Structure 1
Amino acid sequence: MTLLSNIIAIAEHAGQAILAVYQQDNAAFNITDKADASPLTAADLAAHQVIITALTTLTPDIPVLSEEAADISWDIRQHWQRYWLVDPLDGTKEFIKRNGEFTVNIALIEQGEPVLGVVHAPVLAKSYYAAKGDGAFLKQASGVSRLKVNQASRQQLVKVVGSRSHPSPDLAGYLAQFPQHEMVPVGSSLKFCLVAEGSADVYPRFGPTMQWDTGAGHIIALEAGAKVSFTGIAAKVYQREQLLNPNFLVSALLSATGD
């Protein structure tokens, strides 16, 4: 198997661990609050364990930064030329709501940039994936298809994908530039994937995200033809002491402010 094929398999295995919890009653979720008040469930931890075990076996020389094991000092991380960036369960709030809009995110970072990524949606039975220079793809029951953005004009009806659980007051100001727009609310890194597959035209994010929320979706969107820009960061988005991302824009629009 190629490295990418192995990562897809690992993400899908983690998805199975998540579904094993998801299919039980809510009491089995074992919901607790982390220090930042975000929820943590038994599924987050189960997926984390699956991924960490698999990655350390597959690539023992590549370190891993996971949301559930992120207490690694910058003194150590700044020397990483290559590492795995993992969110074992992105969209925990969506998981708790049982709306299916949560994902497993695994990205390979080299020199501060994503070069490989997998976003697996367990309930949807979809795996989005990409490797630098090789394009972006969607694997589902019907087969594998190549992803390509829908290059739309800002003068047309613009489909804007946004967070379902983290609305932002700044979004209204951004949307004012479009004569016509339609909001498409969705959870987790699926927002990157909707732009990548052409179901949405732009994903503006005016609110907190962490590096592990974006790494995998970032390379998938890029390889599908989207532009991804982070406020104040021109390069090495994922080689920073601060794990919190600034605002960012994922766009397939041909002519829009900020593209």
Structure 2
Amino acid sequence: MLTREQTEFFLVKAYNAALRAGARILDIYNDGVDIEVNLKSDRTPITLADCESHTLIKSYLGPTHIPLLSEEGRDLLYEERRNWDLFWMVDPLDGTKEFIKGNGEFTVNIALMYNNRPEIGVIYVPYIHKMYFAIRGVGSFRKTEVLPDPESEKSLAEILEGREPLPLVEAANEPIRIAVSRSHNTDETFEHISRIKQRYPSAVVIQQGSSYKFCLLAEAVVDVYVRTSPTSEWDTAAGEVILLESGGRVENITGGRLDYNKETLRNPHFICKNRFWRD
């Protein structure tokens, strides 16, 4: 079991890494030059911002001497990582399609995994200067007006100052708000929405890119999020602990939990619910 001192140290490292990466991403986003887009082997897009954010996070977290599993890192064989008990799970730029579209809906996701469960989660939304973080068993929090900083070295006291515990409200929304991906929906997504609307006819659908949907659920600004298109473990790890510590739930479509550090890093389809959702 990690000690309080250890989790606080790792939170500080993840928080500062996310701020530094967010600063570099925004530099590229705002430089006025057309974004060069390449395709990875799975036909998903990658940009300079993805690569430079990964390099920066890897360099900053390197002195922790903890392995790092990143979307933009080298492919690690299952045999190489299967016995890791502590590692970083990173998506250096979640919402690459939204970054390319220029709508600001992208995040930096950093999770510390302990025994294949997210122990610490940090999600930074650089375009709107919001930071979300959680430690398992401690709580989930939001900070606003957190400016990107390429040389960030915030102390634990600075990180905790001004934090708001999540959720931010005390009841479900009226009408119910259903979050969906802005760019990755399927027919199955809309079938689930239809079933929810049978129970809540006035429910409204909120489109949102990236892991920011987990943050909106943790705030309880939205009530439920259905995902029936491909995601990987780095898309959900940080968001899961932030949502869980706010009292919400993350379940695969059949009702079980999401598993991590599997042989294949793809997630099953899943559904997330805020603290006030009643099945």
Output the TM-score relative to the length of structure 1.
Answer: 0.91
User: Structure 1, residues 78-103: CA drift from partner, whole Å, max 9, x if none?
Assistant: 11111100000000000011111000
Distance of 2:84 and 2:169 partners within structure 1: 35
Change (3 A) 1:125 1:216: same
What is aligned with 1:228? 250
Q: CA deviation at 1:151?
A: 6.8
What is aligned with 1:37? 43
What is aligned with 1:184? 206
Task: Name the aligned partner's letter for residue 166 of structure 2.
Answer: L
Query: Is the Cα–Cα contact under 8 Å of residues 150 and 201 in structure 1 kept in the other structure?
Result: no
What is aligned with 2:164? 145
What is aligned with 2:184? 166
| CA RMSD of superposed structures (Å) | 1.9
Distance of 1:232 and 1:56 partners within structure 2: 37
Change (3 A) 1:17 1:163: same
Q: CA deviation at 1:141?
A: 2.1
Q: CA deviation at 1:6?
A: 2.2
2:233 maps to 1:202: no
Q: CA deviation at 1:234?
A: 4.0
Task: Name the aligned partner's letter for residue 50 of structure 2.
Answer: D
Q: CA deviation at 1:207?
A: 1.1
Q: CA deviation at 1:182?
A: 0.6
2:261 maps to 1:239: yes
Distance of 1:75 and 1:51 partners within structure 2: 24
Query: Is the Cα–Cα contact under 8 Å of residues 149 and 195 in structure 1 kept in the other structure?
Result: no
2:33 maps to 1:17: no
Change (3 A) 1:127 1:68: same
Distance of 1:209 and 1:70 partners within structure 2: 18
Q: CA deviation at 1:123?
A: 0.5
Query: Is the Cα–Cα contact under 8 Å of residues 129 and 136 in structure 1 kept in the other structure?
Result: yes
Unaligned runs of 5+ in 2: 1-7, 147-161
User: Structure 1, residues 86-121: CA drift from partner, whole Å, max 9, x if none?
Assistant: 000000000011111000000011111101010001
Distance of 2:246 and 2:47 partners within structure 1: 32
Q: CA deviation at 1:239?
A: 2.6
What is aligned with 2:155? none
User: Structure 1, residues 129-183: CA drift from partner, whole Å, max 9, x if none?
Assistant: 00001100111128421111757569x5210111001122112221223323111
Task: Name the aligned partner's letter for residue 222 of structure 1.
Answer: L
Change (3 A) 1:221 1:199: same
Q: Name the SS of the counterpart of 2:73 in structure 1.
A: coil
Change (3 A) 1:232 1:65: farther
Distance of 2:77 and 2:130 partners within structure 1: 34
Query: Is the Cα–Cα contact under 8 Å of residues 224 and 277 in structure 2 kept in the other structure?
Result: no
Output the TM-score relative to the length of structure 2.
Answer: 0.85
Distance of 1:194 and 1:236 partners within structure 2: 19
What is aligned with 2:81? 77
Distance of 2:237 and 2:50 partners within structure 1: 18
What is aligned with 2:3? none
Equivalent of residue 54 in structure 2, options 45, 48, 51: 48
Query: Is the Cα–Cα contact under 8 Å of residues 172 and 220 in structure 2 kept in the other structure?
Result: no
2:124 maps to 1:120: yes
Change (3 A) 1:151 1:170: farther
Q: Name the SS of the counterpart of 2:109 in structure 1.
A: strand
